[in-house]
Structure 1
């Protein structure tokens, strides 16, 4: 299952409201996003250190990804949203749209295909090395 990890600067209640506006909520999960093509889950941590510790404990992040999030952690709000493709389709446009909305107030995302975090400007326009964001 393809996924993107999003660390918006947006406050938790605003993230919940945004996800509530696009999907059906069940606890900390949202389903049926983008005509049932996407799902999302949200976790919240009180501090940067707690967020980094949770990512470390998850054990599915590379050390370079963890270091990239550490470098920008002072710019984050403690919210971690995982956006997943529901099914086998590509759904790049739908994934990008949701990530774009989550990052409108700042923050960063990690995709499954590249190293480091992505800002909204880099997602929209690509990186200087020509690498595109791929959900």
Structure 2
């Protein structure tokens, strides 16, 4: 399972309404595009539980505060999911916010995602490049 976290700059109610529209009748988790499992998580539950401290610092700097809630989007390893992750993330960040993926400590903006920006050689949700870099030699 691969994951991203999205910290939209809108109220939770608006985010839930968007997800309800994208995933009618499906909640906890929302199932979007048949391959994205979306959970609303809070700091009191498990948000930041297994995060590296550098990632939390990067997010806090980018947001100006440590967000108290986020959307965790899980993608099965059985599908690529890149197009679906990008589309959903851009919709959730339409009014601002930050996204973080499993592959870097960079806080991604909608503009960076839309423009396919690279930071330290990685793009948003760039699991293919990340795995190539971390492959052990034969």
Provide the TM-score with structure 2 as the length reference: 0.77
* Change beyond 3 A, Cα 1:74–1:115: closer
CA RMSD of aligned residues (A): 2.5
- Over residues 47-101 of structure 1, what are the superposed CA-to-partner deviations in whole Å (9 max), with x where a residue is unaligned? xxxx499644x1x111111101221333787440011114511110011000000
The residue number in structure 1 matching 2:37 is: 39
Provide the TM-score with structure 1 as the length reference: 0.78
Bigger share in helix? 1
The residue number in structure 1 matching 2:84 is: 94
> What's the CA shift for 1:134?
1.5
SS of aligned partner of 1:25: coil
* Change beyond 3 A, Cα 1:29–1:71: same
C-alpha separation in 1, matches of 2:36 and 2:45: 27
1:103 aligns with 2:93: yes
List 4+ stretches of structure 1 deviating above 2 A.
Answer: 51-56, 72-79, 127-131
Structure 1 residues 1-135: aligned runs within 5 Å: 1-23=1-23, 24-26=25-27, 28-31=28-31, 33-34=32-33, 36-44=34-42, 51=43, 55-56=47-48, 58=49, 60-74=50-64, 78-86=68-76, 88-125=78-115, 126-127=117-118, 129=120, 131-134=122-125
What are the ranges of 5 or more consecutive residues in structure 1 without an aligned counterpart? Answer: 45-50
What are the ranges of 5 or more consecutive residues in structure 2 without an aligned counterpart? Answer: 127-138
* Change beyond 3 A, Cα 1:53–1:5: same
Q: Answer with 116-125 or 72-81: which moved more.
A: 72-81
Q: Relative contact order (alpha carbons < 8 A, sep ≥ 6): 1 or 2 greater?
A: 1
C-alpha separation in 1, matches of 2:110 and 2:66: 13
